[in-house]
A and B are shown apart, each in its own frame.
Chain A
Amino acid sequence: MSLRSPLEGIGVVEGPAGLRLSDLTLAHREGVRGAGAREWLLSQGHALQDAPSQIVASGELGLVMSLSHREFWLLQPDSEASTGRPASEAVAAGVWPFYCQHSHAWLQLAGEPRAEIMAKLCGVDLSEAAFPLGSVAQTQVARVSVIIAAHQSENDHPVFSMFVDQSLARYLWEAIEDAMGEWLE
């Protein structure tokens, strides 16, 4: 069975100053959670910060995003999602797979005014001074729950990756596109 994005057919929104809203929903991601998740990831050679709510580059193409002391997402923006059935057994003792591929859509916002755009929709200060690269916030954007991660894209441009429940993806896309409006004129 092939995966489909809830944003299928919408395309990309682009503007001046590198402004770009794109859909990465079909890019690969997986997660692990449990009391032993952190130690297991370290044993697999992943880089991790000590505190939760951080995102770090790990390996050649990947990122590790920590949402708590026990939950981590592995993001691969350049790899296609696996269509295989997710495993239901523990990865290791105290480490369980977590299916963020199927639950969340992945939107990415790049460009100079990205923090100003998000300020219209989100109560957390996402300016670079308050929310530097490597930061993660689990918060509300346009009143729906969203995970926001600030990191470098594959082109070394700073971006916000945003993860939202698949059923809310179109709503969030339209809210961000509307907030981008004044920069697109």
Chain B
Amino acid sequence: MKILTCPLNGPRNIAEFTYGGQVKPMPNPSEATDQEWAHYVFYGDNHIGVVREWWMHTPSSYWFIVERHNQTDEVIRTYDPAELFDVGASPAAEPTGADS
């Protein structure tokens, strides 16, 4: 069984987690063109390297961020989203750990 360390709950079986997609900047929904919005919703970078991803610990409904190498599946770090986002601010951040 793979183990992932939740920043709130500690190390847990991977079966307790749900993948939430790549962390990427969201365009302003009221100003983005259809093409920009479609790109945001449907496209990912798909590069090999360290990626920054949303994961949720399902039993506690707690969303957090994982930096993971998508070739070796090595988890570099997990942390609370407050490290990236101001509370109340729109989620928009480039993955600094990605080597794309």
Residues of A within 8 A of B (CB): 35, 52-53, 67-68, 123-124, 137-140, 143, 145-147
Contacts and interface: CB of A to CB of B under 8 A. Distances in A.
A147 B12 contact: no
Given A138-B59, A138-B60, A139-B59, A68 B8 contact: yes
B60 A68 contact: yes
Contacts of B58: 145
A67 B1 CA distance: 25
Contact of A137 (B1, B9, B15): B9
B59 A68 contact: no
A140 B16 contact: yes
B8 A147 contact: no
B8 A139 contact: no
Contacts of A146: 59
Across the A-B interface, the 5 shortest Cβ-Cβ residue pairs: A145-B59, A138-B60, A138-B59, A123-B13, A139-B59
17 contacts: A35-B87, A52-B8, A67-B60, A68-B8, A68-B62, A123-B1, A123-B13, A137-B9, A138-B57, A138-B59, A139-B16, A139-B59, A140-B13, A140-B59, A143-B15, A145-B59, A146-B59
Contact of A124 (B12, B60, B62): B12
Nearest to B62: A68
A16 B99 CA distance: 60
A118 to B, nearest CB: 15
A147 B9 CA distance: 11
A147 B59 contact: yes
